[in-house]
Structure 1
Amino acid sequence: MDLEAFRWLLTDDGQALLARAEEYAGDDPLAAQTRLRSLAEPARAAAALTQATLRRRAEAKFGELAARMYFTPDGLEQATRPAVARHRAARLRAFEAETLVDLGCGIGGDLVAAAEVGVVCAGVDLDPVRVAVAEANLAALGLPGAVMVADAVDVDTTPFEVAFADPARRSARGRSFSVDDWTPPWSFVERLLRRDSCVKVAPGIPHDLVPQGVEAEWVSDGGEVKEAALWSGSLATTARRATVIGRGGLATLTDEDPVAGEVRAVGDFLYEPDGAVIRAGLVTAVAAGVGGGLVDPHIAYVTSDQAFRSPFARGYRVVEELPFREKQLRAALRERGVGRLTIKKRGVDVVPEELRKRLSLSGDAEATLVMTRVAGSGTALLVQPL
């Protein structure tokens, strides 16, 4: 995105063109571009159409805020979901943090959430366009804060109570899961974690990479694991935490009281722990919470003889066990008139989409099938969601 064209977009004339672009955004892109170029020079027309298109795309992540905010394509992709950012901001307020420096602020999603709860924020980023967009977002939402172009590794964080960082996890080959490819590098993160700080990391971060005394929190939103965050210094309250955000609100589970993972036979109910719980290694805590145990020492399914509703796991009533072998399984499902089948699998070499095609079912009934290992053996369970 052209920086000069974006800054022009914030002027009165630019806002008028952006309004036109939002009218045309649903049209054929070439036709929309042609119409806008009749009203402004190409760079400005492109900037307006880009923003209008990104605002539509951002509605899935930012909801009604998207219509007032500004984005870059990569900034929108990398931005924290508002619900997750607000949870993090709420934790900062709970610790009575008053000032925050965001080292690599991107388009300002986390700055916005922190400013909303009254934290005095400053952000830095290497990209002048992202800095301009972050500034524009704070202004558009009527929030205070300062943003400037700077390299995070050169910033003196001592004037701020909390330092926040979201290292870019991309290399020349695209998204990277190696800490060696992070910008700023992992060595910078390790230094930052020696003070009160919070660092956003990928959910797949290995437990043994987390420094001693640092809290690792895995967060899911709407059933999807979105990120992990490392909390250090006085902000760390436990070793591992799973936080689940859903329609009913927020729930959190910690490892303060470790529970042994008892393995037992499949009972009347099966529970599928939330992804954040699994990443945090707290499946046995869910088992304890439902008065049950694990179906296998290496599989993240929990079983119990009691029905529970838990924010940390989805529950199913076990109807019956079916044959695991494909031929016999097909016959059993056809005998029960199953035509629409949801297949959930864990710990077995099964591709649900491919298996569903091979089963070639055509009945009127709908069913859910769990394919997993129970005490080391492949098992197929017909279940009903609670």
Structure 2
Amino acid sequence: MRLPEHGLAEAVALAAALPDLEVVGSEIVRLPKPHAGHLFGTGKMEELGARLQELEIELVLVDGPVTPVQQRNLEKEWKVKLLDRTGLILEIFADRARTREGVLQVELAALSYQRTRLVRAWTHLERQRGGLGFVGGPGETQIEADRRAIDEQMVRIRRQLAKVVKTRELHRASRRKVPFPIVALVGYTNAGKSTLFNKVTGADVLAKDMLFATLDPTMRGVTLPSGRKVILSDTVGFISELPHQLVAAFRATLEEVLEADLILHVRDISHPQSDAQAADVEDILDKLKVDDDVPFIEVWNKLDLLSEENHAATALQAERRDDVCAISALTGEGFEALLLEIEQRLGEERLNEELHLPFADGRRHAWLHAENVVRDEAQSKEGWVLQVEWTASQKGRFNAL
């Protein structure tokens, strides 16, 4: 079970991830029952309003869902801008997106969210305010016009995204021809994936003690101790209660995980809510429909932050499990064992080759398809031209037929 204190700490860390934002205070407000129109009861709303005015607060963040009506009423009452958890995460994603696809996905998710913020208002209220320039209007006609404009914009962005995704699919298809397995790093945001990625690859990905430091997937080649080459992919960090708009919009970004030959689930083992965070990651992987057959290693990171006693106990616990490696991405502790485990989990190296089989060789042709090693097939005058991806042992069995 998530403790409110840890939820609040995460919310503060989320706020700190936005540039030029100073967090001047935070507190847990217990609500027996959320008020339909104002979220808080009248007394609590007035009390908070007085404190906000005294501190000259301009932005209030609520770590949870706030309905469009509640947002409008609280902004009017407190004379501040208000963002709920979804709005805040969208703001961070908008600030972090770097690739064309990332930017388009954020815009699409923001528009989807913005569409739900259009509130009917029977009086001439000021135009609604929210993250990413969310707008509403006074009166049904204005709302309908805004909704239509948003829908048209979403259609345009989806078309642009389709082109970008098609281009990336071509890149991925060309990468498939390179016989390097893909190892994807996944994990809760701020678990240390980018630090591990940098340490292993020698890359310089933004690695800060900050939520959502990495947004766009980054890929680099890595040579394992045996000399075998693999591609390591760093992905966006997962988070509890990830807005559903973002699960859908960022599915394409996380497709690198669906393509992976091995998944490394990086956990901040020093975090008091490490188990709950791991459950959130596994839940999102389920939603992404990641194949259960893909090998999976849990990487217990941040050993360096544990006390001497906990460090020893955690390392011993990891040793007793064959699906866990305990490391410190910062100091490099446990790296050697992790790289060996990666090597072992990937199994035999796969080779890409072109075969020419005469039409008379139907038995061997059928064997290749039964082994599921044929990636492409064409016909010449003499027979089949096959692009196969197989292991050395499969090649040996084929030659023996």
* TM bracket (short chain): under 0.3
Give the TM-score taking structure 2 as reference length. Answer: 0.27
Q: Which has the larger radius of gyration?
A: 2
Give the TM-score taking structure 1 as reference length. Answer: 0.27
* More contact order relative to length (CA 8 Å, sep ≥ 6): 2
Which structure: greater strand fraction?
1
